[in-house]
Structure 1
Amino acid sequence: MNSLIIVNEGLKIGSIQIKPEFVDRILQVSLKFIFVLFLMFISIKIGKTIIKKFVENQTKDKGLKFAMSPQKAKTIGEVLKSVLKYSVYFIGVAILLEELFGGISLTFASMGGFAIGFGAQSLVQDLINGFFILFEDQYGVGDYVTIGKFEGIIETIGIRTTILKDFTGDLHLIPNGSIKEVTNHSRNNIRFIVDVEIAYEEDIDHAIEVISETCKEFEAKYEEVPQPIEIWGVNSLGNSGVTIRVVGFSIPMHQWSMERKLRKAIKEAMDREKIEIPYNKTEFIINKKVEMEEVF
């Protein structure tokens, strides 16, 4: 069994002797590693706190010379956090690599630099495209967008990636360099449609009048509807009823709730006016003459 012996020349494990200089080097590197990692952690913590305060001040104090909208301030804050994180990681890793491989040969360093540079091409593309996304204000945090095959809400914008949350709750991390086409659904009012079906026996003009009055009350009640709701009239003639189309516009991200609420309001108004909404019916026709002949 190998034994550990402490001698004047250092440590001796069996036939292997470890010099004091090597032990000192290991201790120095270990302590420096711990110190650098601690500084990285503290720098990110303090930086995020400062960025958070900056975003809060921008959104709360409208008297500031460069005051931003809450969405814009939040977007800039997320980007600054991303820049902070990558900067701290880059500097920290560079210090640690210098400490570990300070005496590395020029040839090996050149080969390593070439490999890193080749692998960083996609990273550079992500950074450049991310800059243009922010500069052109293509989208911001909280926007409802479609990027490629993904559709949802922007959670975070970084200098390298964009994080999108779809309506099932899944998060999609999309490299900025791969973003070629973006459809932003949050920059203008969004249309919603409510189709109302009435029975053929009902008076169409009366039904449209009831729907029109309901829409006017709805517009006054909800500020999410910024413009008058239109009654397009008879849209189709179905198997059991007439379909009247109602079209409105809401502020972004409220179109679904406005559609549901308007549909409910119209249904209640039609119930009060006793306007029948068609539903499946079964009608039995009995031929009495045939029945009497069968009896005799």
Structure 2
Amino acid sequence: MDRVLSFIEQFLKNENGDLNVLGKGLKIIIVFIVIKILIKVSYVIIDKAVDSRKRRLFSIDEKKINTLTAVLKNIIKYIIYFIGTVIILDMFNINTSSILATAGIGGLAIGFGAQSLVKDVITGFFILFEDQFSVGDYITIDSYEGIVEELGVRVTKLRDFSGELHIIPNGNINTVTNKTRGAMRALVNVSIAYEEDIDKAIKVLEEVCNKLKESNASIVEGPTILGVSDLGDSGVDITIIAKTKPMDQWSVERALRKNIKEAFDKENIEIPYQKMVIIDNKS
């Protein structure tokens, strides 16, 4: 064993007993391997702690717990990487204690260069603790709209319906519209021809709404027929609204339109559409 250790030292250490380039490179690799292992172990511990907490608490917001879990994992990852960086700097005889001691003096200068980073982090914590939105919420941030995939300390990742992923620094988030808090509105405008009987059409619509309410569990309230909302160029518009569970308003609107079309076809109620009339004066 002693011979093996001495053989290894010949390749990893120089004449002064310090690590040579090969030894330092090997130590850096070991440090990064340990960092990866510690991060994975910490993630497993956090997941187990969160799972046990979910089992103990019945009225718990799962999306908020997932958001807190993601942020906690990011914080631990940054701390472990920072410790690993300090170890590597010590290996190259860089006095890290003096660097940390002068951090207070250079903090002001660094602060000017890292204002956006600090703003992102602070805003991220406010978003989290004020519960403005959570992972899985459907939100609008400025001109971006989609599902929150990740709420980190520095950035928010938003996936829109086309599949594009928008990575938005938290410091750039000024106004947020959360579309998953409370019941959402489903709105359908139905047009009938001027020649049709409005009362008959409304009666048919009421039957459609009552049947859909009984069969669709996503509807919280309604559907309610508001009546004639507009007199268009080619027909009379009737507005129907309903309150639905978050993210289900579009499916309810689609179901309403389909059932209305089928009911109107059955009752021979005409839905206006553009027509072209050709007049032949030669005949």
Q: TM-score range by the shorter chain?
A: 0.7 to 0.9
Q: CA deviation at 1:41?
A: 0.5
Contact 2:14 2:20 in 1 (8 A): no
Alignment equivalent of 1:171, drawn from 165, 173, 187 = 165
Alignment equivalent of 2:183, drawn from 163, 166, 189 = 189
- Partners in 2 of 1:91 and 1:101 — Cα distance? 16
Corresponding residue of 2:116: 122
SS at match of 1:186: coil
Letter in 1 for 2:37: I
Corresponding residue of 2:249: 255
Matched, 1:143 2:133: no
Alignment equivalent of 2:27, drawn from 13, 17, 32 = 32
Matched, 1:46 2:38: no
Q: CA deviation at 1:38?
A: 0.7
Q: CA deviation at 1:240?
A: 2.2
Corresponding residue of 2:92: 100
SS at match of 2:76: helix
Matched, 1:68 2:36: no
Name the Cα RMSD after superposition. 3.0
Corresponding residue of 1:215: 209
Corresponding residue of 1:6: none
Q: CA deviation at 1:143?
A: 0.7
- Partners in 1 of 2:166 and 2:17 — Cα distance? 47
Contact 2:138 2:178 in 1 (8 A): yes
Describe the superposition over 1:252-287 as per-residue Cα deviations: whole angstroms up to 9, x where unpaired.
111111111111011111112221212233456688
- Partners in 2 of 1:66 and 1:29 — Cα distance? 52
- Partners in 2 of 1:177 and 1:197 — Cα distance? 46
Describe the superposition over 1:193-252 as per-residue Cα deviations: whole angstroms up to 9, x where unpaired.
111111112110010011011111111111211011121111222222211111112111
Choose 137-146 or 170-179, whichever is displaced more.
Answer: 170-179
Contact 1:58 1:67 in 2 (8 A): no
Choose 94-103 or 210-219, whichever is displaced more.
Answer: 94-103
Matched, 1:245 2:239: yes
Letter in 1 for 2:178: N
Corresponding residue of 1:14: none
Residues 163 and 93 of structure 1: CA distance in aligned 2, closer, same or farther (over 3 Å)? same
Scaled by the length of structure 2, what TM-score is found? 0.83
Q: CA deviation at 1:32?
A: 2.4
Contact 1:83 1:158 in 2 (8 A): no
State the percentage of identical aligned residues. Answer: 47
Corresponding residue of 1:3: none
SS at match of 2:229: strand
Contact 1:162 1:176 in 2 (8 A): yes
- Partners in 2 of 1:105 and 1:214 — Cα distance? 75
Alignment equivalent of 2:146, drawn from 135, 138, 152 = 152
Corresponding residue of 2:7: none
- Structure 1: stretches of 5+ with no match in the other structure: 1-9, 12-17, 292-296
Larger Rg: 1
Contact 1:227 1:249 in 2 (8 A): yes
Letter in 1 for 2:81: Y
Describe the superposition over 1:161-202 as per-residue Cα deviations: whole angstroms up to 9, x where unpaired.
111112221112222222222111111222121111111121
- Partners in 1 of 2:19 and 2:252 — Cα distance? 71
